[in-house]
């Protein structure tokens, strides 16, 4: 699939049997991203047959350990597997120092470069952009400065209407038609009109990763009409006092955010270890936002354009 999300970890800070800390693998148009990097992430990548060597961009939401303690083992495995490509790491201030100290005191040198991109979690910032998509921060509310990430595809090329193709149309001209341009002759006259030879582009897709956060209506405009949203749902409504104390969300609050943002689909995760039956959280969310699923390890969510 050209837009596919695999859950590597869905647990909160404390260990829970069968659940790993936060981490997700996202593929968009053959670009491979890692979002958060909890303990055991390299084992999860191997288990679900996802190559860590294809990952060129890692986004860390904040510096609570359950969101980044799997990073050093992953970096060393990349090194031992002879990685040479640059690795781009997006985080707030401090993660570069943590990695540098690990390397210093283990007297280690990586085969590849790590290129750090530091961001301010309190602001919406574009962290990554190429010809296919953008990634920007989503300011969140937590005990530490914390940001989510919004992945948005750009407008895709128009599709060639194969029923309209004519002899003599060159590959270069077809490529130009896909951009929405008309093909002109040497005198500037329209030779091939774009609207005749092409069809509208496939829909552009979007994914919002909303990591640890208290109730946060301020992000709704930014993530409006998103195709897929992950929102932490650490607690049930009955434990609202604990959610407020720790600046986390309930499953019901996650569903309200998805509803207010008019998202198409919601995934909930970051479950407290106190809950053995995750269907209680799922039911609470579905009572508000029906199209909700659990972020269970190994689950893959594919978006179709």
Q: Is there a contact between 58 and 88 (Cβ–Cβ < 8 Å)?
A: yes
Q: In degrees to the nearest 10, what's the CA dihedral of 97, 102, 104, 106?
A: 180
* Number of Cβ atoms within 10 Å of the Cβ of 129: 12
Question: What is d(CA 6, CA 36) in angstroms, rounded to the nearest whole number?
Answer: 12
For the chain, what is the largest distance between any 2 Cα atoms, rounded to a whole number of angstroms? 74
Which is catalytic among the residues 66, 145, 212, 227? 66
Look up 66 and say whether it is catalytic: yes
- By CB atoms closer than 10 A (0-12, 13-18, 19+), residue 51 is exposed
Question: In this structure, are strands 147-153 and 206-210 parallel, antiparallel, or unpaired?
Answer: antiparallel
153, β-bridge pairs: 133
Q: Which residues are catalytic?
A: 66
């Amino acid at each position: 699939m050209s837009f596919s999300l695999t859950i590597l970890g869905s647990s909160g800070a404390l260990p829970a049997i069968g659940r790993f800390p936060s981490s997700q693998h996202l593929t968009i148009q053959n670009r491979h991203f890692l979002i958060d990097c909890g303990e055991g992430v390299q084992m999860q990548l191997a288990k679900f047959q996802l190559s860590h060597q294809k990952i060129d961009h890692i986004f860390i939401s904040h510096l609570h350990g359950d969101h980044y303690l799997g990073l050093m083992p992953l970096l060393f495995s990349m090194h031992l597997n002879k990685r040479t490509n640059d690795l781009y790491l997006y985080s707030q201030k401090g993660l570069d120092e943590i990695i540098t100290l690990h390397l210093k005191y283990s007297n280690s040198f990586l085969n590849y470069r790590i290129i750090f991109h530091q961001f301010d979690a309190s602001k919406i910032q574009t962290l990554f952009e190429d010809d296919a998509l953008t990634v920007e921060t989503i300011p969140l509310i937590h005990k530490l400065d914390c940001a989510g990430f919004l992945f948005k595809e750009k407008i895709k090329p128009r599709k060639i209407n194969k029923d309209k193709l004519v002899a003599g149309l060159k590959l270069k001209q077809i490529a130009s038609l896909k951009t929405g341009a008309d093909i002109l002759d040497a005198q500037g006259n329209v030779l091939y009109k774009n609207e005749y030879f092409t069809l509208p582009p496939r829909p552009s897709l979007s994914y919002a990763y909303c990591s640890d956060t208290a109730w946060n209506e301020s992000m709704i405009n930014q993530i409006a009409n998103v195709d897929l949203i992950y929102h932490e749902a650490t607690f049930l409504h009955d434990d609202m006092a604990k959610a407020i104390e720790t600046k986390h969300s309930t499953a019901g609050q996650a569903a309200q955010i998805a509803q207010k943002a008019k998202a198409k689909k919601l995934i909930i995760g970051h479950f407290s270890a106190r809950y053995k039956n995750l269907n209680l959280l799922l039911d609470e969310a579905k009572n508000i936002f029906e199209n909700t699923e659990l972020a269970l390890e190994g689950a893959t969510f594919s978006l179709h354009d």
